[in-house]
Structure 1
Amino acid sequence: METRLYFVRHAHSIYTPDELKRPLSDRGSKDAVRVTEFLKNEGINQVVSSPYRRAVQTVEGIACLIGKEIEIAEDLRERTLSGEPVEDFQAAIIRVWENENYSWEGGESNLEAQQRGVSATFHLIEKYRGKNIAVGTHGNIMVLIMNYFDSRYDFQFWQNLEMPDIYQLTFIGTELVEVRKVWERSNA
């Protein structure tokens, strides 16, 4: 019995220091409509999301369309890079990807964030076995989850993600059997 998780990296958002409440930009809102249009043909049974507003806004259209409330999964939130803003984001993110155990003060290492995200993923697979689940999430945590199953999903892969982006992960039991990029922003 196959379970399909459609990891939906959130659409473009307006930058604010408030991670939890950061909203989609105008472009992001338009792309969220396109995400809904795409997902409506995928037989989505349930919608789960990070608690962050931009992730919820990206998948709320499909939840409304299928008549389901969005289930909030705290552990699908974006990884915390640091407790305080970093001076050089690029250098800071490279450092944590180079050493999976390294964390900036107040932040999570790749390994810590990955364990949190993978645990949430296994929970979804168990709870919704045989279903198609849209999962509103974030680029870094999504790639860390994918990296747990296949090391090809790494820092360089993360750098090439789009906003939004959608990857379908197909599981038989808890074994990942296929990963497909199913969203092309240029074709949306």
Structure 2
Amino acid sequence: MKKVYVVRHCEAAGQASEAPLTDRGVRQAEELAAFFADVKIDRIISSPFLRAVQSIEPAAEQKSIEIESDHRLSERILSTRDLPDWLEKLKAAFDNLDLRFDGGESSREAMNRAVSVMGDIHQHGAEDTIIVTHGNLMSLLLKHYQPDFGFEQWKNLSNPDVYLLNIDDQEVSLERLWKS
């Protein structure tokens, strides 16, 4: 049995890839480290976005585990154009996984990107892994394993958030662990 802890980054000062954590986000990262203090972890993989890396650094330092960067955990690009009605567009993209907006990737493409990370984790010798990502990509990954996970569940995610995926051969169960 493998355990994968799927972590959404802590509160950040923006959406750009180089946006750092806010002061509150830094405190949340310390809380995340305390949360994982007594949890066996063999491996940590993170989105290369600064807010994701900063979110897990305290836990990684505490456990003396190097953070592996994986671009496949980067946030999903909904569109390269400014979308004033982006929330409506995002909802539509949860309803139609193949919907794609200018310069963006469809929900299915983003989901497959995240699922490919899970495939690599399944093949790796580590039993207990943390992956750190972003809200939309996290939701799509969880939707892959629990198809009714959608827009409303995405809206209810917190910064940070933690879900546990228990993987036993072909069976996967998921459980929300973070109490915000």
Could you say which TM-score interval applies, normalised by the shorter chain? over 0.9
Q: Is the 8 A contact 1:122 1:174 kept in 2?
A: no
- Shift, 1:174, TM fit: 4.4
Structure 1 gaps, min length 5:
none
Letter in 2 for 1:14: A
Find the counterpart in structure 2 of residue 147 from structure 1: 143
Q: Identity of paired residues, percent?
A: 31
Structure 1 stretches of 4+ with a deviation exceeding 2 A read none
Residues 3, 128 of structure 1: 8 Å contact kept: no
How far apart, CA to CA, are the structure 2 residues paired with 1:83 and 1:128? Answer: 38
Superposition deviation, residue 155 in structure 1? 1.2
1:12 maps to 2:11: yes
How far off its partner does 1:98 sit?
2.2
- Counterpart of 1:34 in structure 2 is 31
Query: What is the CA deviation profile of residues 116-152 of structure 1, one whole-angstrom value per residue up to 9, with x for unaligned ones?
Result: 11111111121145x1111111111111111111112
SS of 1:5's equivalent in the other structure is strand
Q: Tell me the equivalent position of 1:183.
A: 178
Please say if 1:83 is aligned against 2:116. Answer: no
Q: Distance in 1 between matches of 2:125 and 2:99?
A: 33
1:33-52 counterparts in 2 under 5 A?
33-52=30-49
1:9 positional shift? 0.4
What does 1:133-172 correspond to in 2, within 5 Å?
133-172=129-168
Give the Cα separation in 1 of the matches to 2:50 and 2:169.
31
With normalisation by structure 2, the TM-score equals 0.95
Separation in structure 2 between the aligned mates of residue 12 and residue 87 of structure 1, nearest angstrom: 22
CA 128–155 in structure 1, closer or farther in 2 if over 3 Å, else same: farther
State TM-score, norm by structure 1: 0.91
Q: Return the match for 2:20 from 20, 23, 47.
A: 23
SS at match of 1:4: strand
Instruction: Give the total of aligned pairs.
Output: 180
